[in-house]
Amino acid sequence: MMKKCHLALIVTAAMLAGCGNDSDNTALPQPTPEPVIEDPTPTPDPTEENLNDYNSINIAVAPDQQLGGSITVKIGKWVPCDSDYPTFCTDDGKNKETEFDYQKYQVETADLARVLGKSIRPDIMADGQFSLLDMALYLGKTREDLEVTLGEFNPQLDTYEFTVSYDYNRDGKFSVDDGSENFQSPDWWPANHYSNGEFLRDVNDAPMEAYYNRADTMPVQVDQNFRLRPYSKYMTERRQYVQRAEVERREAAGGKVIVPRIEVDFLDGRGYVTIATNVEVNNYNLRPDTYQDGVTTIADALMTLAEDMDMDVGLTWWPVTTNDAPIYSYALSRVNNQVAHGYWGWLMFVDGSPNGEATADQIAGFKSGDFNASMNYMSIADITAAPEGSFCPWLGKLDEKKARACKEDFAQSFGGNFVHIMPDNWVIDNPPEVISFKWDYQNTLWHTPEFFWDDGQLPWYDISQAVKPMDDSHFGWGIADCAVCHSQENTHVTGDSPALSDTTRPYYCASCHGSNGAPQGHGEMSRCHWCHTKEYAPKQHGAASLRVSAEEVECWQNSSQSTPCANAATMMMKPTDKADNVIEYSSDRMFPVNSDWSQSADFPDPYSCLTCHPNEVMVPTSDSHHQGY
């Protein structure tokens, strides 16, 4: 399983459809298509068989994700409670999710098809799929206090522009009395955060993420958080600055998707190393369930490096993860034999600006960029007094108006082109200037112990040396848990075995008797529980097949001793609610026995996993920490 760097994940959405004037059947303007040459041989839809033919696919799954369920919708901006923004404070001085309670509700995704029929961009979105722009149009059609007016398609930006009027003062009409940002404003834009499941330690749930991506190319996904909100003209100008540069880059290449530079920081002291220049990206139609054939994503760029340029790059499928986040996407898991494992893995940055200067990255000093979360802890006066260039440097010296806009729009850890989107959902039909990847380690950030197959904390057994391997004549062939049939007290009673453990440990049995028909591993080295949940949950694997309440879990010896273990007071990233108020995980939360903080006694992860399901080549963990071109 690729690096678990939490680039994406949290929200448990409920249900409640929007209501309003559904009968508005006004025809929406369509983009003027560019002349195209019909390809007589369209790229075939992926199957597990043809995906396995690619060097770049580690775990092949043919995607077939249909839109369903519900999403959480919020209207209006979000800033943390402080003296400059008292209307965003609760009576006891905590943050609110929204300025007013009526600005948050649930939308059933099925209502998008009922109200809109199809996406405003049928040239981008697959049948039955909708974009964030479609979501905004839906809100405008179903809320009496919101009017979303679609403008003309702007070929210089390769996207639609739109204006929003919002009845902020609740007087039943749209007017200048609602404030300039709420009347016929061109500066509203979607903010978004794809689902993290039960994970409560993310940093962007409250404001969500401000995108430079085109809203009509970003898919709506189940369980996500969506916020339609006003920004300042400075945010609109910055976003359009990036989008315009991307279109100009495509036009200069004659309509081809050519990425000028792809770079990697292998964390070996060299900093970012350019591994490819002027990469003409081929289309592999990896996500026909989401996009039309011919739509190009970052996953296509990664596959181009592997399939056409013979570079060692690998993608791995993430299903619903162990924290119940419905990812259903391919993630980058390998570059030049540095394979993601545990909390070692790959971070991704994309910059579409003309000179690659807009990469938003203030976490751990990866790069400098447009967004800076430290402003959330500063007053407007403090931001104004800061040295020129400290915040929103392209705006020059910040007066009060610019400082307020900078804080409201750019005070985030993630945003712009550094956001939580998986590579196969990030459209680059208009190519960025640079795509950057960084090898990173995050156990200290998330305050979890490490578990690697060869770290010696628990034994791993080499079953290729098994002295009495079983075959399919064994009556329990294919059953993982020996204890289902073999009780501890009736096993090897004649003393024909070395000393046995106090409990039946099937992977110890495998050291003599082999895998008992278990399939070979698929290249992963740690954190098997991350993906082996829900439809991939192990069957008959003792405690590893169970979920128990957090208070029943015994924290691992080098975990923080707290129940749940994730509530440790010394954590850097504490659990928070949807308004960014610090909370704790509930002790009755259901928890997998094999997790980031605990291990089952009979099937510990990854030691038992990689004993019975060894990879074709068992690469020492230390060899995967650092490689580099």
pLDDT, position 27: 44
Residue 247 in 3-state DSSP?
helix
Is the pLDDT at 2 greater than 90, yes or no? no
| Residue located via tokens 């958080």 | 225
Q: How far is it, in rounded angstroms, from Cα 341 to Cα 451?
A: 9
pLDDT, position 5: 35
% of residues, the chain, pLDDT over 90: 55
Nearest to 315 by CA among 628, 58, 101, 610: 58
> Phi and psi dihedrals of 73, rounded to 5?
-115, 135
Whether 430 and 16 have beta carbons less than 8 Å apart is answered as: no
Whether 393 and 402 have beta carbons less than 8 Å apart is answered as: no
Is the pLDDT at 131 greater than 90, yes or no? yes
Mean pLDDT (the chain) is 86
Residues in the chain: 629
How large is the average pLDDT for residues 97-122? Answer: 95
Is the pLDDT at 21 greater than 50, yes or no? no
What would the pLDDT profile of 201-228 be if each residue is shown by its tens digit?
A: 776 678 899 999 999 999 999 899 999 9
Residue 51 in 3-state DSSP?
helix
Q: How many CB atoms are located within 10 Å of the residue 354 CB?
A: 15
pLDDT, position 535: 83
Q: How many CB atoms are located within 10 Å of the residue 376 CB?
A: 17
Whether 583 and 575 have beta carbons less than 8 Å apart is answered as: yes
Query: Residue 53, class by beta-carbon neighbours within 10 Å (0-12 exposed, 13-18 middle, 19+ buried)?
Result: exposed
Band of the pLDDT at 18, cuts 50, 70, 90?
A: very low
Is the pLDDT at 559 greater than 90, yes or no? no
Residues 6+ apart with CB under 8 A from 67: 109, 112, 128, 129, 130, 220, 221, 222
Q: What's 296's DSSP letter?
A: -
Amino acid at 265: D
What would the pLDDT profile of 39-90 be if each residue is shown by its tens digit?
A: 556 777 888 778 888 889 988 888 998 998 999 999 999 999 999 999 999 9
Band of the pLDDT at 622, cuts 50, 70, 90?
A: confident
CA end-to-end distance (rounded Å), the chain: 22
* pTM given for the model: 0.87
Band of the pLDDT at 570, cuts 50, 70, 90?
A: low
What would the pLDDT profile of 462-484 be if each residue is shown by its tens digit?
A: 999 999 999 999 998 999 998 88
Q: How far is it, in rounded angstroms, from Cα 424 to Cα 324?
A: 20
pLDDT, position 207: 85
Amino acid at 132: L
Whether 590 and 547 have beta carbons less than 8 Å apart is answered as: yes
Please state whether 193 falls in left (phi above 0), alpha (psi between -120 and 50) or beta. beta
